[in-house]
Structure 1
Amino acid sequence: MSDASFHDGREAPLNLGALEAGDLEVISSLVQDAVFPISEMSWRSKECRFALLLNRFRWEDQPNAKKRDRPYERVQSLLVIDTVLGVASQGVQRGDKDMVLSLLSVHFEPAEDGAGHVLLTLAGDGSIRLTVEALEVSLRDVTRPYQAPSKQAPHHSE
């Protein structure tokens, strides 16, 4: 009997949660370069919930796509942050309903007693700062993967 390897894993929709900063780093790496129209951003203050419907690049599939010489993929995913007490943004034109945003990272800035801020960093110097009572984030794929329109993996200039 041998240990399982990464390649033994099955291809399935993601359904992940983060209750600690280390867990959030995994989610952040998976949502890097996700794009979403500003209209797919929702804060339900009475429910203390902020949600984004993202078109997420499937970073977890990139090695398989290269190896099998098949197209890169995206998938629609729901990123939900719970226990949200307040939302602030910078560099986001909320009135422009046609604006498409690109998510670069998700980071937790802890405060006292488990509270803190979840910072969503966007391309073009934009950001969304969520004041949270506690860190509670989930990421769930909600559609089947589809071919990335660019047919390429996202890349960043150094």
Structure 2
Amino acid sequence: MEFKKIHLYGSDIEDYEVLSSLIQDAAIPTSEMKFDKVEKQFFLVCSRFSWESRLQNKGNKRIVSGICFDNVIEVKKKNFPSFNSENILNFLTLKKVTGFIELIFSNNILIKLVGNNISFRIDDLNKEWPTIFSPNHKN
């Protein structure tokens, strides 16, 4: 089966729900996050778990994806670790509220993107690769 990279743009609440499901359990190094105040963009690069591969019975896979949030005027952080290239955050979910997007990570870490009409683009940057590690969600 041919590998198809994801390239999506979104701005409404349903789009953000799709984004959240795509990057659930993504590993994001703190060194791979950047806020460009002049361009009003927040970027991150993550190693996301390929839920779509699992649904297609292709096994556990990961893929590197880049995400750009546009129209961001401020970034607020809560419980964010000190900058260190070895710090890797585990993405859990996000919330879209009028005026901001909240990215929620394990260990009660939050990143709040403040702005009006924040939109996003997500692009897979390479081919997926197999992994023996699979997210495990205990209820």
The TM-score, its normalising length taken from structure 1, stands at 0.82
Q: Would you identify which runs of 4 or more consecutive aligned residues in structure 1 move more than 4 Å? A: none
Amino acid at match of 2:91: L
* Residue pair 1:14, 1:140 contacting (<8 A) in 2 also: yes
Q: Does 1:157 align with 2:138?
A: yes
Deviation of 1:16 after TM superposition, in Å, equals 0.8
Question: Which residue of structure 1 lines up, in the alignment, with residue 53 of structure 2?
Answer: 61
Q: Aligned to 2:61, which of 73, 76, 80?
A: 73
**Identity over aligned residues, as a percent?**
25
Q: CA deviation at 1:17?
A: 1.2
Q: Which has the larger displacement, 36-45 or 56-65?
A: 56-65
Does the 8 Å contact 2:45/2:67 carry over to 1? yes
Count of residue pairs the alignment pairs up: 139
Q: Give the alignment partner of residue 99 of structure 1, picking from 87, 95, 103.
A: 87
CA RMSD in angstroms, aligned pairs only: 1.6
Which structure has the greater CA radius of gyration?
Answer: 1
Amino acid at match of 2:86: D
Equivalences for residues 126-145 of structure 1 within 5 A: 126-145=109-128
Q: What is the CA-CA distance between 1:10 and the residue it aligns to?
A: 6.2
Distance 2:129 2:43 in 1: 22
1:46 partner SS: coil
TM-score, normalised to structure 2, is 0.93
**Which residue of 10, 13, 17 maps to 1:18?**
10
